[in-house]
Structure 1
Amino acid sequence: MKKFDIRNIRVRSVSVDELSDRMLLLNLYVTQAVTLVIGLAWCFFQGRNPFMLLKLPQGLTFLYWGLGLAVTVLAVDLILSRWVPEEAADDGGVNERIFGNRPIWHIALLSLIVAICEEMLFRGAIQFAIGAYWTSILFAAIHIRYLKHWIPTGLVFSISYGLGWIYEESGTLWAPILAHFAIDFIMGLIIRLRRKA
Protein backbone atom coordinates (compact mmCIF):
# COMPACT_ATOMS: atom_id res chain seq x y z
CA MET A 1 0.00 0.00 0.00
CA LYS A 2 1.29 3.46 -0.92
CA LYS A 3 1.92 5.83 1.98
CA PHE A 4 0.46 9.30 2.03
CA ASP A 5 3.17 11.92 1.71
CA ILE A 6 2.18 15.48 2.51
CA ARG A 7 5.13 16.78 0.47
CA ASN A 8 3.39 15.57 -2.69
CA ILE A 9 0.46 17.93 -2.22
CA ARG A 10 0.56 20.70 -4.78
CA VAL A 11 -1.42 23.90 -4.49
CA ARG A 12 -2.08 26.01 -7.55
CA SER A 13 -4.13 29.06 -8.25
CA VAL A 14 -7.35 28.40 -10.13
CA SER A 15 -9.18 31.11 -12.04
CA VAL A 16 -12.94 31.36 -11.87
CA ASP A 17 -13.12 30.41 -15.55
CA GLU A 18 -11.59 27.00 -14.77
CA LEU A 19 -14.43 26.12 -12.36
CA SER A 20 -17.63 24.51 -13.55
CA ASP A 21 -20.87 26.17 -12.50
CA ARG A 22 -21.54 23.32 -10.10
CA MET A 23 -18.08 23.61 -8.50
CA LEU A 24 -18.43 27.39 -8.18
CA LEU A 25 -21.76 27.01 -6.36
CA LEU A 26 -20.41 24.20 -4.19
CA ASN A 27 -17.47 26.42 -3.23
CA LEU A 28 -19.84 29.27 -2.37
CA TYR A 29 -22.12 27.11 -0.23
CA VAL A 30 -19.24 25.39 1.57
CA THR A 31 -17.45 28.66 2.37
CA GLN A 32 -20.67 30.15 3.71
CA ALA A 33 -21.30 27.06 5.86
CA VAL A 34 -17.76 27.30 7.25
CA THR A 35 -18.29 31.04 7.87
CA LEU A 36 -21.49 30.33 9.80
CA VAL A 37 -19.92 27.56 11.89
CA ILE A 38 -16.96 29.78 12.79
CA GLY A 39 -19.32 32.63 13.71
CA LEU A 40 -21.49 30.40 15.91
CA ALA A 41 -18.45 28.82 17.61
CA TRP A 42 -16.82 32.22 18.17
CA CYS A 43 -19.98 33.53 19.84
CA PHE A 44 -20.11 30.46 22.09
CA PHE A 45 -16.46 31.00 23.07
CA GLN A 46 -17.31 34.61 23.91
CA GLY A 47 -19.91 33.25 26.34
CA ARG A 48 -22.78 34.53 24.22
CA ASN A 49 -25.74 32.72 22.70
CA PRO A 50 -25.49 33.29 18.93
CA PHE A 51 -29.14 32.39 18.45
CA MET A 52 -30.12 35.36 20.61
CA LEU A 53 -28.46 37.53 17.98
CA LEU A 54 -31.11 36.33 15.55
CA LYS A 55 -33.98 37.19 17.85
CA LEU A 56 -36.47 39.32 15.96
CA PRO A 57 -36.48 42.95 17.11
CA GLN A 58 -39.57 44.52 18.71
CA GLY A 59 -40.06 47.43 16.32
CA LEU A 60 -39.45 48.03 12.66
CA THR A 61 -36.64 50.58 12.98
CA PHE A 62 -34.13 47.95 11.82
CA LEU A 63 -35.88 48.16 8.43
CA TYR A 64 -35.00 51.86 8.16
CA TRP A 65 -31.39 51.23 9.12
CA GLY A 66 -30.96 48.25 6.80
CA LEU A 67 -32.81 49.61 3.78
CA GLY A 68 -31.34 53.09 4.32
CA LEU A 69 -27.78 51.74 4.14
CA ALA A 70 -28.65 49.55 1.14
CA VAL A 71 -30.11 52.50 -0.80
CA THR A 72 -27.07 54.63 0.06
CA VAL A 73 -24.62 51.93 -1.06
CA LEU A 74 -26.51 51.28 -4.29
CA ALA A 75 -26.68 55.02 -5.06
CA VAL A 76 -22.94 55.44 -4.48
CA ASP A 77 -22.23 52.37 -6.63
CA LEU A 78 -24.43 53.74 -9.42
CA ILE A 79 -22.67 57.11 -9.29
CA LEU A 80 -19.22 55.50 -9.28
CA SER A 81 -20.10 53.20 -12.18
CA ARG A 82 -20.71 56.31 -14.31
CA TRP A 83 -17.17 57.65 -13.83
CA VAL A 84 -14.99 54.71 -12.87
CA PRO A 85 -13.70 52.54 -15.73
CA GLU A 86 -15.02 48.98 -15.63
CA GLU A 87 -11.53 47.48 -15.33
CA ALA A 88 -10.93 49.46 -12.12
CA ALA A 89 -13.84 47.61 -10.49
CA ASP A 90 -12.99 44.18 -11.91
CA ASP A 91 -13.50 41.24 -9.56
CA GLY A 92 -12.13 38.65 -11.98
CA GLY A 93 -15.58 37.77 -13.29
CA VAL A 94 -16.71 36.05 -10.09
CA ASN A 95 -19.94 38.02 -9.61
CA GLU A 96 -20.78 37.62 -13.30
CA ARG A 97 -20.35 33.85 -13.02
CA ILE A 98 -22.32 33.63 -9.78
CA PHE A 99 -25.29 35.79 -10.75
CA GLY A 100 -25.24 36.01 -14.57
CA ASN A 101 -27.39 32.97 -15.41
CA ARG A 102 -29.18 32.32 -12.11
CA PRO A 103 -32.94 32.38 -11.78
CA ILE A 104 -34.14 35.26 -9.62
CA TRP A 105 -35.22 32.95 -6.78
CA HIS A 106 -31.67 31.52 -6.66
CA ILE A 107 -30.12 35.01 -6.57
CA ALA A 108 -32.41 35.78 -3.61
CA LEU A 109 -31.47 32.52 -1.86
CA LEU A 110 -27.73 33.06 -2.37
CA SER A 111 -28.01 36.66 -1.16
CA LEU A 112 -29.89 35.58 1.97
CA ILE A 113 -27.44 32.79 2.82
CA VAL A 114 -24.43 35.07 2.35
CA ALA A 115 -26.03 37.86 4.39
CA ILE A 116 -26.90 35.63 7.36
CA CYS A 117 -23.62 33.68 7.42
CA GLU A 118 -21.28 36.63 6.95
CA GLU A 119 -23.13 38.94 9.33
CA MET A 120 -23.21 36.27 12.04
CA LEU A 121 -19.42 35.97 11.82
CA PHE A 122 -18.37 39.55 11.15
CA ARG A 123 -20.90 41.67 13.02
CA GLY A 124 -22.12 39.06 15.50
CA ALA A 125 -18.77 37.61 16.59
CA ILE A 126 -15.72 39.49 15.28
CA GLN A 127 -17.03 43.03 15.76
CA PHE A 128 -17.91 42.17 19.36
CA ALA A 129 -14.26 41.22 19.89
CA ILE A 130 -12.30 43.83 17.94
CA GLY A 131 -14.69 46.62 16.91
CA ALA A 132 -16.14 47.83 13.62
CA TYR A 133 -12.94 49.32 12.16
CA TRP A 134 -10.74 46.21 12.43
CA THR A 135 -13.64 43.99 11.48
CA SER A 136 -14.04 46.02 8.29
CA ILE A 137 -10.35 45.64 7.45
CA LEU A 138 -10.68 41.88 7.89
CA PHE A 139 -13.93 41.85 5.89
CA ALA A 140 -12.24 43.69 3.00
CA ALA A 141 -9.23 41.35 3.15
CA ILE A 142 -11.30 38.18 2.82
CA HIS A 143 -13.03 39.60 -0.25
CA ILE A 144 -9.73 38.94 -1.98
CA ARG A 145 -11.09 39.20 -5.49
CA TYR A 146 -11.43 42.98 -4.99
CA LEU A 147 -7.93 43.55 -3.63
CA LYS A 148 -6.44 44.08 -7.10
CA HIS A 149 -8.07 47.51 -7.30
CA TRP A 150 -8.30 50.14 -4.57
CA ILE A 151 -11.80 51.40 -5.47
CA PRO A 152 -13.67 48.12 -4.84
CA THR A 153 -11.48 47.42 -1.80
CA GLY A 154 -12.39 50.83 -0.39
CA LEU A 155 -16.05 50.22 -1.17
CA VAL A 156 -16.06 46.83 0.57
CA PHE A 157 -14.36 48.37 3.61
CA SER A 158 -16.86 51.26 3.68
CA ILE A 159 -19.85 48.96 3.28
CA SER A 160 -18.56 46.75 6.08
CA TYR A 161 -18.04 49.75 8.33
CA GLY A 162 -21.57 50.91 7.50
CA LEU A 163 -22.91 47.45 8.35
CA GLY A 164 -21.07 47.58 11.68
CA TRP A 165 -22.38 51.07 12.38
CA ILE A 166 -26.03 50.20 11.72
CA TYR A 167 -25.61 47.08 13.86
CA GLU A 168 -24.52 49.22 16.79
CA GLU A 169 -27.13 51.92 16.18
CA SER A 170 -30.08 49.56 15.66
CA GLY A 171 -29.05 47.05 18.35
CA THR A 172 -30.03 44.11 16.16
CA LEU A 173 -28.18 41.87 13.72
CA TRP A 174 -31.21 42.00 11.44
CA ALA A 175 -30.35 45.53 10.27
CA PRO A 176 -26.99 44.55 8.71
CA ILE A 177 -28.44 41.25 7.49
CA LEU A 178 -31.21 43.14 5.68
CA ALA A 179 -28.76 45.68 4.22
CA HIS A 180 -26.31 42.95 3.13
CA PHE A 181 -29.14 40.95 1.55
CA ALA A 182 -30.61 43.95 -0.28
CA ILE A 183 -27.21 45.06 -1.64
CA ASP A 184 -26.26 41.58 -2.88
CA PHE A 185 -29.72 40.82 -4.26
CA ILE A 186 -30.08 44.07 -6.19
CA MET A 187 -26.50 43.90 -7.49
CA GLY A 188 -27.13 40.28 -8.50
CA LEU A 189 -30.30 41.31 -10.32
CA ILE A 190 -28.45 44.09 -12.13
CA ILE A 191 -25.78 41.64 -13.29
CA ARG A 192 -28.45 39.13 -14.35
CA LEU A 193 -30.63 41.64 -16.20
CA ARG A 194 -27.66 43.43 -17.80
CA ARG A 195 -26.51 40.11 -19.23
CA LYS A 196 -29.96 39.43 -20.71
CA ALA A 197 -30.07 42.85 -22.38
Structure 2
Amino acid sequence: MKKLDLSKFKLRTVSIDDIDDRMLLINLYATQAVTFIIGLIWVFFQRGNPFLLFSSPGAWDFLYWGAGLAAAVLVVDLLVSRFVPEEVGDDGGVNDRIFRNRAVWHIVLLSFIVAVCEETLFRGGVQHLIGPYWTSIVFAAIHVRYLRHWIPTGLVFSISYGLGWIYEQTDTLWAPIAAHFLIDTVMGLIIRFRREQ
Protein backbone atom coordinates (compact mmCIF):
# COMPACT_ATOMS: atom_id res chain seq x y z
CA MET A 1 0.00 0.00 0.00
CA LYS A 2 1.32 3.43 -0.98
CA LYS A 3 1.91 6.09 1.61
CA LEU A 4 0.44 9.49 1.09
CA ASP A 5 3.24 12.00 0.63
CA LEU A 6 1.97 15.39 1.73
CA SER A 7 5.17 17.11 0.63
CA LYS A 8 4.05 16.74 -3.00
CA PHE A 9 0.95 18.86 -2.41
CA LYS A 10 1.45 22.53 -3.09
CA LEU A 11 -0.90 25.40 -2.46
CA ARG A 12 -0.92 28.24 -4.90
CA THR A 13 -2.94 31.36 -5.32
CA VAL A 14 -5.36 31.23 -8.22
CA SER A 15 -6.66 34.37 -9.86
CA ILE A 16 -10.25 34.55 -11.06
CA ASP A 17 -8.82 34.91 -14.57
CA ASP A 18 -7.16 31.48 -14.23
CA ILE A 19 -10.53 29.74 -13.83
CA ASP A 20 -12.69 29.01 -16.86
CA ASP A 21 -16.44 29.62 -16.81
CA ARG A 22 -17.36 25.97 -16.32
CA MET A 23 -15.06 25.59 -13.30
CA LEU A 24 -16.33 28.89 -11.86
CA LEU A 25 -19.93 27.61 -12.00
CA ILE A 26 -18.99 24.21 -10.59
CA ASN A 27 -17.20 25.96 -7.74
CA LEU A 28 -20.16 28.28 -7.12
CA TYR A 29 -22.76 25.50 -7.11
CA ALA A 30 -20.55 23.23 -4.98
CA THR A 31 -19.92 25.88 -2.32
CA GLN A 32 -23.63 26.69 -2.18
CA ALA A 33 -24.50 22.99 -1.80
CA VAL A 34 -21.99 22.67 1.06
CA THR A 35 -23.38 25.85 2.65
CA PHE A 36 -26.94 24.50 2.44
CA ILE A 37 -26.00 21.10 3.87
CA ILE A 38 -24.07 22.67 6.75
CA GLY A 39 -27.04 24.96 7.38
CA LEU A 40 -29.50 22.07 7.51
CA ILE A 41 -27.24 20.07 9.85
CA TRP A 42 -26.69 23.12 12.06
CA VAL A 43 -30.42 23.80 12.32
CA PHE A 44 -31.12 20.11 12.99
CA PHE A 45 -28.77 20.03 15.97
CA GLN A 46 -30.09 23.34 17.35
CA ARG A 47 -33.82 23.17 16.84
CA GLY A 48 -34.88 19.88 15.31
CA ASN A 49 -36.53 19.74 11.92
CA PRO A 50 -34.67 22.14 9.58
CA PHE A 51 -37.43 22.00 6.99
CA LEU A 52 -39.75 23.89 9.34
CA LEU A 53 -37.63 26.93 8.44
CA PHE A 54 -39.19 26.81 5.00
CA SER A 55 -42.79 26.47 6.12
CA SER A 56 -45.27 28.89 4.61
CA PRO A 57 -45.34 32.17 6.51
CA GLY A 58 -49.12 32.47 6.03
CA ALA A 59 -49.31 36.15 5.17
CA TRP A 60 -47.44 37.87 2.36
CA ASP A 61 -46.12 40.78 4.43
CA PHE A 62 -42.66 39.17 4.52
CA LEU A 63 -42.36 40.25 0.88
CA TYR A 64 -42.73 43.90 1.91
CA TRP A 65 -39.90 43.49 4.39
CA GLY A 66 -37.71 41.74 1.82
CA ALA A 67 -38.47 44.19 -0.99
CA GLY A 68 -38.05 47.18 1.33
CA LEU A 69 -34.62 46.06 2.51
CA ALA A 70 -33.59 45.19 -1.05
CA ALA A 71 -34.67 48.64 -2.29
CA ALA A 72 -32.72 50.37 0.50
CA VAL A 73 -29.60 48.30 -0.22
CA LEU A 74 -29.80 48.97 -3.96
CA VAL A 75 -30.19 52.73 -3.43
CA VAL A 76 -27.17 52.79 -1.10
CA ASP A 77 -25.16 50.65 -3.51
CA LEU A 78 -25.98 52.92 -6.45
CA LEU A 79 -25.01 55.99 -4.41
CA VAL A 80 -21.74 54.37 -3.38
CA SER A 81 -20.96 53.39 -6.98
CA ARG A 82 -21.74 56.95 -8.08
CA PHE A 83 -19.54 58.77 -5.56
CA VAL A 84 -16.81 56.28 -4.65
CA PRO A 85 -14.00 55.32 -7.06
CA GLU A 86 -14.55 51.94 -8.71
CA GLU A 87 -11.29 50.43 -7.42
CA VAL A 88 -12.47 50.91 -3.81
CA GLY A 89 -15.36 48.50 -4.42
CA ASP A 90 -13.31 46.03 -6.44
CA ASP A 91 -14.02 42.38 -5.58
CA GLY A 92 -11.27 41.04 -7.82
CA GLY A 93 -13.63 40.64 -10.77
CA VAL A 94 -15.58 37.73 -9.28
CA ASN A 95 -19.07 39.23 -9.63
CA ASP A 96 -18.22 40.43 -13.11
CA ARG A 97 -17.14 36.94 -14.13
CA ILE A 98 -20.20 35.33 -12.57
CA PHE A 99 -22.80 37.62 -14.15
CA ARG A 100 -21.22 39.29 -17.20
CA ASN A 101 -22.14 36.72 -19.87
CA ARG A 102 -24.88 34.89 -18.04
CA ALA A 103 -28.41 34.54 -19.45
CA VAL A 104 -31.10 36.38 -17.49
CA TRP A 105 -32.79 33.13 -16.41
CA HIS A 106 -29.43 31.87 -15.10
CA ILE A 107 -28.85 35.08 -13.10
CA VAL A 108 -32.28 34.61 -11.51
CA LEU A 109 -31.58 30.94 -10.77
CA LEU A 110 -28.13 31.64 -9.30
CA SER A 111 -29.55 34.43 -7.15
CA PHE A 112 -32.30 32.18 -5.80
CA ILE A 113 -29.90 29.33 -5.02
CA VAL A 114 -27.44 31.64 -3.26
CA ALA A 115 -30.23 33.32 -1.27
CA VAL A 116 -31.74 30.04 -0.06
CA CYS A 117 -28.40 28.38 0.76
CA GLU A 118 -26.75 31.32 2.53
CA GLU A 119 -29.86 32.36 4.46
CA THR A 120 -30.42 28.78 5.62
CA LEU A 121 -26.96 28.71 7.18
CA PHE A 122 -26.60 32.28 8.41
CA ARG A 123 -30.08 33.36 9.44
CA GLY A 124 -31.53 29.90 10.07
CA GLY A 125 -28.54 28.45 11.89
CA VAL A 126 -25.76 30.80 12.92
CA GLN A 127 -27.96 33.74 13.95
CA HIS A 128 -30.01 31.50 16.22
CA LEU A 129 -26.80 30.76 18.14
CA ILE A 130 -24.85 34.04 18.17
CA GLY A 131 -27.31 36.77 17.15
CA PRO A 132 -27.43 39.12 14.15
CA TYR A 133 -24.35 41.23 15.01
CA TRP A 134 -21.84 38.37 15.25
CA THR A 135 -23.53 36.54 12.40
CA SER A 136 -22.94 39.62 10.26
CA ILE A 137 -19.25 39.64 11.17
CA VAL A 138 -18.96 35.99 10.13
CA PHE A 139 -21.00 36.69 6.96
CA ALA A 140 -18.70 39.58 6.01
CA ALA A 141 -15.61 37.48 6.74
CA ILE A 142 -16.64 34.64 4.43
CA HIS A 143 -17.14 37.14 1.62
CA VAL A 144 -13.36 37.33 1.63
CA ARG A 145 -13.11 38.99 -1.78
CA TYR A 146 -14.46 42.21 -0.25
CA LEU A 147 -12.10 42.30 2.72
CA ARG A 148 -9.42 44.26 0.84
CA HIS A 149 -11.50 47.44 1.06
CA TRP A 150 -13.44 48.73 4.03
CA ILE A 151 -16.44 50.13 2.08
CA PRO A 152 -17.59 46.82 0.53
CA THR A 153 -16.82 45.02 3.80
CA GLY A 154 -18.98 47.53 5.66
CA LEU A 155 -21.75 47.18 3.07
CA VAL A 156 -21.73 43.37 3.32
CA PHE A 157 -21.83 43.61 7.13
CA SER A 158 -24.71 46.12 6.98
CA ILE A 159 -26.67 44.05 4.47
CA SER A 160 -26.22 40.96 6.62
CA TYR A 161 -27.34 42.83 9.71
CA GLY A 162 -30.40 44.07 7.81
CA LEU A 163 -31.18 40.51 6.72
CA GLY A 164 -30.91 39.36 10.32
CA TRP A 165 -33.09 42.21 11.53
CA ILE A 166 -35.92 41.48 9.10
CA TYR A 167 -35.67 37.80 9.99
CA GLU A 168 -36.27 38.70 13.63
CA GLN A 169 -39.09 41.11 12.75
CA THR A 170 -40.98 38.68 10.52
CA ASP A 171 -40.05 35.38 12.16
CA THR A 172 -39.81 33.75 8.73
CA LEU A 173 -36.73 32.85 6.74
CA TRP A 174 -38.58 33.86 3.57
CA ALA A 175 -38.11 37.58 4.32
CA PRO A 176 -34.28 37.53 4.22
CA ILE A 177 -34.38 35.04 1.34
CA ALA A 178 -36.58 37.43 -0.64
CA ALA A 179 -34.31 40.41 0.13
CA HIS A 180 -31.12 38.47 -0.66
CA PHE A 181 -32.64 37.17 -3.89
CA LEU A 182 -33.78 40.62 -5.05
CA ILE A 183 -30.44 42.24 -4.22
CA ASP A 184 -28.40 39.60 -6.05
CA THR A 185 -30.76 39.48 -9.03
CA VAL A 186 -30.83 43.23 -9.58
CA MET A 187 -27.08 43.61 -9.06
CA GLY A 188 -26.45 40.67 -11.40
CA LEU A 189 -28.67 42.21 -14.07
CA ILE A 190 -26.92 45.57 -13.67
CA ILE A 191 -23.55 43.88 -14.22
CA ARG A 192 -24.93 41.87 -17.14
CA PHE A 193 -26.44 44.77 -19.04
CA ARG A 194 -23.86 47.38 -18.07
CA ARG A 195 -21.23 45.26 -19.78
CA GLU A 196 -23.25 45.06 -23.00
CA GLN A 197 -23.36 48.83 -23.49
Measured against the shorter chain, the TM-score band is over 0.9
Deviations 1:36-58 (A, max 9, x none): 00000001111321100001111
Mapped pair 1:164 → 2:154: no
1:64-123 CA-to-partner distances (Å, cap 9, x unmatched) read 100000000000011111110000000000000000000000000000000000000000
Correspondence for 1:23 = 23
Size of the alignment, in residue pairs?
Answer: 197
**Which aligned pairs between 1:39-188 and structure 2 lie closer than 5 A?**
39-188=39-188
2: CA distance between counterparts of 1:159 and 1:89?
15
Query: Any stretches of 5+ residues in structure 1 without a counterpart?
Result: none
SS in 2 for 1:12: coil
Shift of 1:2: 4.9
SS for the counterpart of 1:71 is: helix
Amino acid across the alignment from 1:100: R
CA deviation map 1:106-162 (0-9, x unaligned): 000000000000000000000000000000000000000000000000000000000
Residue equivalent to 2:36: 36
Q: Secondary structure at the match of 2:10?
A: coil
Looking at structure 2, the residues matched to 70 and 63 of structure 1 have their Cα atoms a distance apart, in angstroms, of 10
Residues in 2 aligned to 1:128 and 1:3: alpha-carbon distance in whole angstroms = 43
Q: What residue identity is the alignment partner of 1:189? A: L
Task: Detail structure 1 runs of 4+ shifted over 4 Å in the superposition.
Answer: none
In structure 2, give the amino acid aligned to 1:60.
Answer: W
Partner SS for 1:79: helix
SS at match of 2:47: coil
Gapped runs of 5+ residues in structure 2?
none
Residue 9 of structure 1: how far off its partner (Å): 1.1
Amino acid at match of 2:13: S
Residue 171 of structure 1 deviates from its aligned partner by: 0.7
Structure 2 SS opposite 1:10: coil
SS at match of 1:196: coil
Give me the CA root mean square deviation.
Answer: 0.9
Structure 1 CA distance, aligned partners of 2:81 and 2:171?
32
Q: Return the letter of the residue paired with 1:7.
A: S
Letter in 2 for 1:114: V
Amino acid at match of 1:6: L
Query: Secondary structure of 1:106's partner?
Result: helix
